[in-house]
Amino acid sequence: MIQLSDHFNYRHLLRFTFPSIMMLVFTSIYGVVDGFFVSNYAGKTPFAAVNFIMPLLMLLGCAGFMFGTGGGALIAITLGSGNPRKANELFSMIVYASIFCGVVLAAAGIIFLRPLALLMGASPELLPGCLTYGRIILTALPFYVLQYEFQCLFATAGKPKLGLIVTAAAGMTNIILDALLVAVLHWGLEGAAATALSQFVGGVIPLCYFGRSNTSSLRLVKCRFQRQALLKTCANGSSELMSNISMSLVSMLYNMQLMKYAGEDGVAAYGVLMYVSLIFQAVFLGYSVGAAPVASYHYGAGGYGELKGLLRKSLILIGIFSVFMFIAGQTLAMPLSLLFAGYDPGLLEMTVQAFSIFSFSFLFSGFAIFGSSFFTALGDGVTSALISFLRTFIFQCSAVLAFPLIWSLDGIWFSTVAAEVMAVAATALFLSAKRNKYHY
């Protein structure tokens, strides 16, 4: 078994991060499965409704990433400094706090779902579907938060493969129920919300595992509330929270621009791009999540040589992944578009055109994702949050507002590419500026 204290060559690094990559890919497939069944068995309008409300649901659920990444770094640094008892107390306190947070967010989401959907610009045709799908998903939000959190903490506990098994079980639950409820029983959006049951699976199984004696380095124990540690966790994980909040807000802005320039078809086409993008980005995010506890551990233990080697190897691997993602995006543009929009020639043409432009963003996005995660792992939540905020909010919002004025609909697709290029430049500047402080 690979330990956080090991020397990580390319082979070890890929073996250790692969389960985290697959974990995030499986999670991304949840939305893809919902989109596939809704689009093909319920119709274009329900499909657009799911795409329209999904950013809000993801915005609420992303608190799990904040607790997972911010807490995971703090726990791994504590383990690296040789204090496992304190690490378990921190782990337990963070998990309990996330459950409370999930319940509060779920209640608020259910209460304010309708006015928020209207504020986002939901049309009378889309609103009923947004409310139906959103309310069902929100009932499982506490488990959604836990699932995202444990996807990060399984790697911290040294059990990334177990995390992959749990995520695969939740994913299969979603696929089977979607096929049964939407394709066979024709329950429409109510059936697609079977995702809520899969999130229950993904959140409860880790609670049961860590709640008893196990072979990992972490276990849920009795603990006291540590306000400073919780604040540090939230501050350190704020980059991932900011990234997900910004992505959700940007998605809402994209939907508003697309309703203006292309109507319902534009929202549906963007939904297809987001489904595929989530899977591709999950590779970068999963690698970053898997590598983060390694960086945290060696930083906490003073292993700066290992930290420097980890950064160099990671940037090379991210570069290789990026090229493969771009080639895949260009090659699979038509087949993937047919999968979701083959029933509508106009929508299919728009989606293929969008794909051919959008896939250039895969050449750049991985570097900023890893850079932000790397600074979180070092406990520098401010720098990490700044990279995420620039990438997912400032650069994308500016581009999506300006580019359509020049290139109309194509400008919306180009805006993501331009934002990722600017994010890579910003990440390179921060890595260069901080190298002496963190000795990498």
Q: Cα Rg for the chain, rounded, in angstroms?
A: 21
Contact 94, 71 (CB under 8 A): yes
Contact 102, 141 (CB under 8 A): yes
CA pseudo-torsion sign 389, 353, 340, 22: negative
Contact 281, 359 (CB under 8 A): no
Tell me the C-alpha distance between 335 and 382, whole Å: 41
Instruction: Give the model confidence (pLDDT) of 397-406 as tens digits.
Output: 899 999 999 9
pLDDT, position 2: 63
pLDDT, position 219: 92
pLDDT, position 31: 62
pLDDT, position 30: 66
Task: State how far the alpha carbon of 353 is from the alpha carbons of 43, 262, 349, 416, in Å.
Answer: 22, 13, 6, 14
Q: Can you spell out the DSSP letters for 12-28?
A: HHHHHHHHHHHHHHHHH
Contact 112, 169 (CB under 8 A): no
pLDDT, position 28: 77
pLDDT, position 300: 84
pLDDT, position 52: 82
Question: Which residues of the chain, if any, have pLDDT below 70?
Answer: 1-3, 30-31, 192-193, 239-240, 244
Q: Half-sphere exposure of 229 toward its Cβ, with a 13 Å CA cutoff?
A: 22
Q: What's the DSSP call for residue 362?
A: G
Tell me the CA end-to-end span of the chain in Å, nearest whole number: 26
Tell me the C-alpha distance between 371 and 207, whole Å: 30
pLDDT, position 324: 94
Contact 148, 202 (CB under 8 A): no
**Type of residue numbered 371:** G
Question: How is residue 332 written in tokens?
Answer: 């699979």
